[in-house]
Amino acid sequence: MARALVGRAGLLLRPAAVACLLLAAGCALPPRRGQAFPIGLYDVDRPGELPRLSRDGFTAVETALTDRKTIRALGAEAKKYGLSLLVFPGQLAKAGASVQGLPILAWYLADEPDVSRLALATLLRARSSLHRWDRRPLALVVGDGRTAARYAPAADIMMVDWYPVPHLPLESVGWNVRWTIEGSGGRPVWAVVQAMNWKDYRQHDPSKPRIGRFPTYTEMRFMAYDAIAEGASGIWFYSYRRPDGSLRSENPEHWGRVTAVVAELAFVRKLVARARPLPSPVPEAPAFAGLVGRAWERHGEDYALIVNASGAPAALPAKLCGLDWRLLRDGGSAWRAAGCRIAAHQALLFGSATLTK
């Protein structure tokens, strides 16, 4: 699937950056306890931004900056608020500096190597050096989930960023998460959800019409839930900063959409990170071909997530419409009035009838 591809300035792992990494030296561990399902935000560069982001419900942040002073300052502030960092090793790795005590969730190995056509052999050499330096996991982001198998050997965590608004089907987010999982070899997969406007960025092909807008709350909510339903074990939002340096939070309407989704994900995060997975609540039948679902059991209660990844309303599985289940999260939809049906690009979270909101 084609899309306009805009690399993040300075984030692609260029040969010079790889050379720096090769000077460094670690064996990776899985994500640390308590961050099995991060809710993260890209482009957070200043320690003073962390208190607000913690209050808004984020559990992790990413920064494009790599200098030691900035990373240490962010790390010190992040620890105060229980936040973790996703950062490029940069100067820390080059200097072989001690990073003990820094709340590193993962090291950012490469951003869209499939777009920059970075060789796997180069990433594997970087991986080997980094794992001798620090024993925390390496995350790698692909721009197209179908390339995940090519780069998975270099990573401990796979990520995929896919931003379809307004030019591609919303459900293509879920497709890319599924493709990434299929190619990840069992590695955790984190999805990066669009919280940006394509018009803020340089257009890849200037000959094409200029498109772009900020996603609506409903679109952002669907993309996050679609990724989770397909198996994502973490959700990140791109991004906090615009290319001109201004912050998304400076637009209350747009930022309110992001934080509304984050607030809802805080509840779902507990299910995905700490609950026991159950079989999918969606029957394998043609009538439910457009639905995607996941289910969990936690503390003796069952939960079911249903996402309609199609462009048309659909009937819900009959068992979810009975007295044994109640709706916990609906994004404001009037599903019961629609006769136990789920709207297009809608997500519903059900719980056992004994639960309270």
Cα–Cα distance, 306 to 294 (Å, whole number): 7
Edge to edge, the sheet with strand 276-278 lists 276-278, 291-298, 301-308, 347-352, 325-329
The reported pLDDT for the residue numbered 36 is 82
The domain limits of the chain are 15-274, 277-352
Evaluate if pTM is beyond 0.85: yes
Per the CATH hierarchy, to which homologous superfamily does domain 15-274 belong? Glycosidases (3.20.20.80)
Contact in structure between 44 and 62 (CB atoms under 8 Å):
yes
What is the per-residue pLDDT across 6-27, written as a single tens digit (0 to 9) for each? Answer: 333 333 333 334 433 433 333 3
Q: How far apart are the first and last CA of the chain?
A: 40
Percentage of residues in the chain with pLDDT exceeding 90?
Answer: 73
| Angle at the Cα of 88 from the Cα atoms of 83 and 90, rounded to 5 degrees | 125
Cα–Cα distance, 298 to 321 (Å, whole number): 21
The mean per-residue pLDDT over the stretch 28-54 comes to 82
Smallest CA-to-CA distance from 22 within 100, 172, 124 is with 124
What is the per-residue pLDDT across 187-237, written as a single tens digit (0 to 9) for each? Answer: 999 999 999 999 999 888 888 888 999 999 999 999 999 999 999 999 999
Strand partners of residue 193? 237
Confidence of residue 183 (pLDDT cuts 50, 70, 90): very high
Amino acid at 132: R
DSSP string, 146-172: GGHHHHGGG-SEEEEE---TTTS-TTH
Cα–Cα distance, 267 to 262 (Å, whole number): 9
Percentage of residues in the chain with pLDDT exceeding 70?
Answer: 87
Q: What token pair was written down for 222?
A: 């669907």
Task: Specify the higher pLDDT residue, 46 or 22.
Answer: 46
CA count, 13 A, side-chain hemisphere, 353:
7
Confidence of residue 35 (pLDDT cuts 50, 70, 90): low
Amino acid at 4: A
Torsion of CA 281, 230, 357, 296, to 10 degrees: 50
Q: What token pair was written down for 156?
A: 């401990």
DSSP string, 256-298: HHHHHHHHHHHHHHHHHHHSEEE--SS-SSGGGTTEEEEEEEE
Cα–Cα distance, 50 to 60 (Å, whole number): 10
Cα–Cα distance, 33 to 10 (Å, whole number): 31
Contact in structure between 18 and 122 (CB atoms under 8 Å):
yes
The residue to which tokens 């934080």 are assigned: 259
The mean per-residue pLDDT over the stretch 150-156 comes to 98
Report helix, strand or coil for 195.
coil
Cα–Cα distance, 218 to 224 (Å, whole number): 10
Smallest CA-to-CA distance from 325 within 314, 316, 333 is with 316
Query: What angle, rounded to 10 degrees, do the helices at 252-274 and 217-229 form?
Result: 20
Q: What token pair was written down for 266?
A: 């805080």
Options 2.60.40.1180, 2.60.120.20, 3.40.50.11540, 3.40.630.40; which CATH number does 277-352 get?
2.60.40.1180
